Structure 1
Amino acid sequence: MSAPLASSQPSRLADAWMLWAASLVVTLIVGVQFLRHDQAMLRTLGDTDDAMRLVRVRTLLAGQGWWDQWIGRLQPPQGTIMHWSRLLDGGLAATVRAVEVVLPPDRAELWTRTFWPLAWILPAAAASLSIAHRIAGRAGLFAGALVLVADPWAFIQFQPGRIDHHNVQIALTLAAAALALGAERGAWRGAAAGFASALCLAIGIEALAFHAFIGAGLAVGLVLGDRRAPAARAYGFSLAGGAFGLFLIQTPPSRWPVSACDALGANLVAGLVAAGLGLGLVSLMKVGARTRLLGVAVAGLVTAIVYLALDPACIHGPMAAVDPRLRPFWFDRIEELQPWTILIRTDPAAAVRVLCIAASTALAAAILVWRKRLDLGLATLLACAGLAVAATLAVLRQEDYAFAFGLPLVAAAAASLTSGRNPLLLATVSLALSPAASMAAAERLWPVRASPSPNERCYEVAAYQRLAAQPEGLVLADINLGPFILAQTPHSALAAPYHRMTWGVLAAHYALGAPPGEAEAQVRALGVRYIVECGALIRVGPGSFETTLRRGPPPPWLRPLSEPGEALQIYAVEPLAQHPPKER
């Protein structure tokens, strides 16, 4: 690392001031750009997860119990229990309540939706710049700030309205990596990294593999007996205690024994406790490197055994419990779960973006291996970046982590190539190595632009006003409309894009896909009061009830409630005719 480890206290203090000043500048520039150019949140509640998160926050504010995660308005009458973390609901609800001191409730909610995601730019930027600084010194810090500001995808999950969970997880994952990278500076960094990992995994487990790599890097440092050994001990105990404590806080006592593959369940918390305590206990042993290696290996083996023994299905990944009947018409079509080989055909702009971040990260990694001494910290970061790139090529959803780990490496590589002596040269090389440059070049060579979705009007707030004015009832609609129906109307939704509500999703699919002559019986049997159609949303084949309803006119048992041309075409299910009783 070019930053001297034996630097004086005043120098470290100056570096800290520079780091936070640069992070604040990045936050302000990116935030202002979002606020100036992104007006989408004024028209819509975001994507399906943003809308669903808002529903959960509102119910919590309305008095639903902290441990009551049952949502009765999804697939009634059985409802569904969401696997999402209550911690994030609580943070958002607390923010809304605090803002209500000075603003009315509706404005407080809008303010929270706007500034909650923007606030997470600061810790994410600080962690990213800290990584670049630790690898390449102050030149890396300067290059990192430039790359973050210049790349439009660096903070795409932090734009106003994004209140789901991605931005918080990205910030915490980067924080854990940055703290682990500087672990030789003190055990407190290891403890902070362990808690960041625990908190991130309590909120969601999509970054689990990155935290496993971070912990493994500290474990290797413990085996080698380097200056990261005290931090490894602190990391282990903090991870174990944090995961266990957060699990108890957010999980209803009745579900403490329940394992899960898609959330922090009993199996994962047991595995994290085993891993953390194992790492901490090995660090306390006064033994040689071979014995420490054996101890760490045993801790890792026990972690895997405990996790899989409590729920063997989890060997198939976090979505092991997805009903295979949902895959053909929904799950396998989710865009963010597609590999780049499919995106080449379905979304060329996204495919090019994925290839650009992969190429920039690979080039930066090669430069750093060539120019830098490959120590344990840098090796851990390169492993995380390589994992992120590989995961992104397989699943588009992971591209956020490819940018998160790739951009600080790009900045450090630029600083290493130029030795940081010439600011103009450093800026030029930084931008040339960045994914933004390769994306701009690719656009000129192959001008592929993301086309606007034909379904955008389906999610606008104004589109739901007519439906919201109707008497309360159950709505049959496309799976993606479910969260917006809950967030913007008093109605219930039969389907929503969540894999734990198999019954409602299948029931809605079968009803919409039924032959026209059989649809009425299925709709009435489900207790549906309204049917909503919109745009190009369709998941059933020709000859189905949904297809014939679009072509019109509607069957006599449906009464149109919307005007032609409106985004949502709403139909009320007419009550069955009441015949007078026969005379005896």
Structure 2
Amino acid sequence: MIVERRRSGWSAPLVLRTTLAWALVAALLLITHWAGIAARRFPDPDDALRLVELRDLIGGQGWFDLTQHRLDAPHGGVPMHWSRLVDIPLLLVVGTLTPLVGAASAEFAALVAVPLLTLYCAMLLAARLVWRMVDLEAATLAALVMALSAPLLFQFAPLRIDHHGWQVVCALAAANALATRSAARGGVMLGLALAVWLTISLEGLPLALAFCGIAALRWLRDPKEGPLLVRTLQVLAFASLALFAATRGIGDLAPHCDTLSPPLLTVLCWSALGVTLLAAQRLPLSWLLGGFAMTAAGGAGILLIGAPQCTAGSFAAADPLVRQLWLSGLLEGMPVWRQQPAFVLQLLVLPLFGLGAAWRLQLRSHDWLRRFWFDYLLLLLAALAITCLVARAGAIAAALAAVPLGWQLREWLAALRGPSSVPRRSLAVTAILLAFVPTLPLLAWGDARHPEAPLSPVGQVQTRASACQVSTAAPAIASLPRGEIAAPLDIAPALLVDTPHSLVASGHHRGSTGMRFMLDLFAADPERAHAMLIARGTRYLALCPGLAEIRLAAKRMPGGLAARLQRGERFDWLEPVDTGGPLLFWRIRPD
């Protein structure tokens, strides 16, 4: 049996071992990503736009002004739903290093260092939880396990400066709160972690509900555990209000569906009030369940009255055609049954092994520790279910799975080192390979079917990166007189980074007016497209022939502008500009 050994605070050996593990992983990331780092090839368009947001902030744009003014400028720019919290670490690094090495080098350092430091925070939190629940060896292995999930490690790669890595950190901080000896202190930690998470991204809401559900379950099992849920919701409500005021101000109080806004903040306050009243007196189980139900129903009612449009999802305000042709087609937001088999294995295998490890841990434990691992099993189930519905949640599921897998890997390695039977050793080797190299069966199958083909990794994390290197074309484009560029949505952020021009739109849903214009433009016949561009005042047109976005536009409308340009047709109203690379670029002639 495994005995409870919840240690408090931090251990010097724990920090040292985790730091060494992180240094190894960070070095491997730097080596494997060096070509992309040197070319400043962002893993995702969101990372490029995050850099634009940082530059705007440093350049004097207001703290509460989250508008991208160089996107869809004729309509006042695109207000972003992102949080300033993610800008703070980048701003600190750039601000600290600029006086020492200059602005360009400081920015480059932030692009590389901040994702790696985020990874360090995540590895420390995972290792700390395992150290408290199991032992130091398992904690070290848990930190290393985090480097064996492709979807997870992708979120911490150099130049990956968007908010997904910080969401993983918040999830692990919340998981640590569940292991606190004091229910009240754990509630404070959990409430803070969830408040930061929801402020960064509302994508964390489903798992935040799962954490609150586990806290409610503990209350139902033992009234002494009630302060966990009460403090969680109290701190969540108060901290969310404070973070909203600190990062967004009171200039925009509209009921947005893609970020914390007044209706959802009201729901949090209502929930905190409800559980506070329930905790004021000792209630029988049936009354407590009824109180939970009434609190939940009241919150749902507030949301339906304050923001009824949000029942249609985060993209409720977007143009219907944009939702149909663009937003609903993003692979990272699709369920697993819409993904490639190799990518599905990378998403699901590690969390499934984590579920098995958590199950074994709760069977081998007793008393409070058994209940903890049962709760953790429920948390992993929730994370896995969310991943099945939204693929990009797989990184959080893998991070949470690393906690029980640290112990499980220790057991497998012990079977290999000790005087175990041959079948047991073979089983341990097989389990390690299946857990940490989930695409190995597909590689073996592909090699057996096509032995003449070299082995290559399958199921790489799917991104929307372009084959056209905008940085190569940027000097030629930047030298042109300033004007608006009509460009594919996925390369628009890179053009914002490397040139002073404005863009019609990027692939961000609040700019659906510009997105609709670009979808209509590439589908229109050339003469109609020319008239649209002249009427808008757009000065330039860019095209990347190999971009998936352009291929899909050409397939949708074979006679449209995108299809005909991709086939090599040229028109008198387009004057070519030599960019020195595969990116096609034209001046738009007025007649």
1:312 aligned to 2:328? no
C-alpha distance in structure 2 between counterparts of 1:51 and 1:146, whole Å: 29
1:500 aligned to 2:498? no
Displacement, 1:525?
0.9
Displacement, 1:235?
2.1
Deviations 1:451-472 (CA, angstroms, capped at 9, x unpaired): 8999643244223221111111
Q: Which moved more, 1:199-208 or 1:301-310?
A: 301-310
Where does residue 55 of structure 1 map in the other structure? 52
RMSD: 3.0
C-alpha distance in structure 2 between counterparts of 1:485 and 1:492, whole Å: 8
Displacement, 1:400?
0.8
Where does residue 172 of structure 1 map in the other structure? 170
Matches within 5 A, 1:206-285: 206-225=203-222, 228-256=225-253, 258-285=254-281
Displacement, 1:349?
3.0
Kept in 1, the 8 Å contact 2:45–2:465? The answer is no
1:67 aligned to 2:64? yes
AA partner of residue 122 (structure 1) = Y
1:4 aligned to 2:4? yes
C-alpha distance in structure 2 between counterparts of 1:372 and 1:314, whole Å: 43
Kept in 2, the 8 Å contact 1:175–1:193? The answer is yes
Displacement, 1:251?
1.6
Where does residue 199 of structure 2 map in the other structure? 202
C-alpha distance in structure 2 between counterparts of 1:215 and 1:509, whole Å: 41
Classify 1:145/1:355 alpha carbon distance in 2 versus 1 (closer, same or farther; 3 Å). closer
What SS does the corresponding residue of 2:343 show, helix, strand or coil?
helix
Deviations 1:84-137 (CA, angstroms, capped at 9, x unpaired): 112222332233112213220000101011111111112211222233345444
What SS does the corresponding residue of 1:155 show, helix, strand or coil?
helix
What SS does the corresponding residue of 2:339 show, helix, strand or coil?
helix
Where does residue 383 of structure 1 map in the other structure? 378
Kept in 1, the 8 Å contact 2:111–2:159? The answer is yes
Where does residue 570 of structure 1 map in the other structure? 585
Q: Which moved more, 1:194-203 or 1:480-489?
A: 480-489
Among 84, 88, 103, the alignment partner of 2:82 is 84
Displacement, 1:561?
0.6
1:557 aligned to 2:573? yes
Where does residue 46 of structure 1 map in the other structure? 43
Kept in 2, the 8 Å contact 1:389–1:402? The answer is yes
Deviations 1:428-450 (CA, angstroms, capped at 9, x unpaired): 67971763133334422345625
1:464 aligned to 2:474? yes
C-alpha distance in structure 2 between counterparts of 1:421 and 1:335, whole Å: 39
Kept in 1, the 8 Å contact 2:342–2:442? The answer is no
1:324 aligned to 2:334? no
Displacement, 1:233?
3.3
Deviations 1:26-68 (CA, angstroms, capped at 9, x unpaired): 3212111111221213212331100111111111111111111
Kept in 1, the 8 Å contact 2:4–2:133? The answer is no
Classify 1:388/1:470 alpha carbon distance in 2 versus 1 (closer, same or farther; 3 Å). same
Q: Which moved more, 1:282-291 or 1:114-123?
A: 282-291
Kept in 2, the 8 Å contact 1:135–1:412? The answer is no
Where does residue 452 of structure 2 map in the other structure? none
1:340 aligned to 2:350? no
Matches within 5 A, 1:108-119: 108-119=106-117
AA partner of residue 163 (structure 1) = I
AA partner of residue 259 (structure 1) = P
The count of residues paired between Structure 1 and Structure 2 equals 565
AA partner of residue 261 (structure 2) = G
Classify 1:235/1:282 alpha carbon distance in 2 versus 1 (closer, same or farther; 3 Å). same
C-alpha distance in structure 1 between counterparts of 2:414 and 2:506, whole Å: 53
Displacement, 1:244?
1.0
Where does residue 412 of structure 1 map in the other structure? 407
Displacement, 1:389?
1.9
Deviations 1:205-235 (CA, angstroms, capped at 9, x unpaired): 1121111111221222223335543443332
Kept in 1, the 8 Å contact 2:218–2:225? The answer is yes
AA partner of residue 302 (structure 1) = G
Among 282, 300, 322, the alignment partner of 2:296 is 300
Where does residue 33 of structure 1 map in the other structure? 28
C-alpha distance in structure 2 between counterparts of 1:408 and 1:335, whole Å: 28
Kept in 1, the 8 Å contact 2:84–2:247? The answer is yes
Among 496, 500, 506, the alignment partner of 1:490 is 500
TM-score (norm 1): 0.88
Q: Which moved more, 1:446-455 or 1:389-398?
A: 446-455
Classify 1:20/1:278 alpha carbon distance in 2 versus 1 (closer, same or farther; 3 Å). farther
In structure 1, stretches of 5+ residues that fail to align are 577-584
AA partner of residue 534 (structure 2) = R
AA partner of residue 93 (structure 2) = T
Where does residue 541 of structure 2 map in the other structure? 531
Where does residue 130 of structure 1 map in the other structure? 128
What SS does the corresponding residue of 1:466 show, helix, strand or coil?
helix
C-alpha distance in structure 2 between counterparts of 1:399 and 1:424, whole Å: 37
In structure 2, stretches of 5+ residues that fail to align are 448-456
Classify 1:433/1:363 alpha carbon distance in 2 versus 1 (closer, same or farther; 3 Å). farther
TM-score (norm 2): 0.87
Classify 1:2/1:268 alpha carbon distance in 2 versus 1 (closer, same or farther; 3 Å). farther
AA partner of residue 543 (structure 2) = E
C-alpha distance in structure 2 between counterparts of 1:536 and 1:442, whole Å: 27
Where does residue 17 of structure 1 map in the other structure? 12
1:440 aligned to 2:440? yes
AA partner of residue 458 (structure 2) = R
C-alpha distance in structure 2 between counterparts of 1:424 and 1:141, whole Å: 24
Kept in 2, the 8 Å contact 1:147–1:430? The answer is no
Where does residue 579 of structure 1 map in the other structure? none
1:364 aligned to 2:363? no
Classify 1:312/1:497 alpha carbon distance in 2 versus 1 (closer, same or farther; 3 Å). same
Deviations 1:164-189 (CA, angstroms, capped at 9, x unpaired): 10001111111111212x13246333
Kept in 2, the 8 Å contact 1:51–1:483? The answer is yes
Where does residue 155 of structure 2 map in the other structure? 157
C-alpha distance in structure 2 between counterparts of 1:139 and 1:290, whole Å: 44
What SS does the corresponding residue of 1:327 show, helix, strand or coil?
helix
C-alpha distance in structure 1 between counterparts of 2:238 and 2:383, whole Å: 27
Among 446, 452, 458, the alignment partner of 1:449 is 458
Classify 1:340/1:151 alpha carbon distance in 2 versus 1 (closer, same or farther; 3 Å). closer
AA partner of residue 48 (structure 1) = P
Displacement, 1:497?
0.4
C-alpha distance in structure 2 between counterparts of 1:224 and 1:325, whole Å: 49
Deviations 1:297-329 (CA, angstroms, capped at 9, x unpaired): 333332222223211222233333333211343
C-alpha distance in structure 2 between counterparts of 1:149 and 1:126, whole Å: 13
